Amino acid sequence: MGWALWFLGYPEQALRRARAALALAREIAHAPSIEIALNCLTFLHQHRRDASATQQSADEMIALATEQGLPLWLALETMLHGWALVEQGQSDEGIAEMRRGLAGYQAIGSELNVPYFLGLLAEAKGKAKRADEGLVLLAEALSMVDKNRE
């Protein structure tokens, strides 16, 4: 519901629903539900461009994914954590994390949303005054979009 509300243009309602979903998942202590709800909340924070909240929920999810041996969640959250670092002025460290997250994501065979992640990385490169590298990443993202019709 959080994502549906986000895409309908209701960011505050989306955030409330995502937080409520996470609270419910924690209440019933169902690990897969906690993971999905926390990942959704992290992405909502990122889409809202709230770097501090993104970093906080990504930190929690990284710990959970590491503890439970969940490479997909670890890769996604490492990517978002890196984005949050870039947004908070830690460009080099953040870009390195984003690259590790993207490499981990692709290493397990995931292709869905890679153009989005490449776009985030390109934006980070631009903030780090490395726009030429960002343009290469955008070209790669557009090539993937054409190939996968994403």
Q: Which residues contact 36 (CB under 8 A, 6 or more apart)?
A: 25
pTM above 0.95, yes or no: no
Mean pLDDT for the chain overall: 94
User: In this model, does residue 31 exceed pLDDT 90?
Assistant: no
Helix (H, G, I), strand (E, B) or coil at 128: coil
Give 111's pLDDT tier (boundaries 50, 70, 90).
confident
Handedness of CA 118, 121, 127, 129 (dihedral sign): negative
Give the count of alpha carbons within 13 A of 86, CB side only. 26
pLDDT bin (cut points 50, 70, 90) of residue 147 is confident
**100 and 58 in contact (C-beta within 8 Å)?**
no
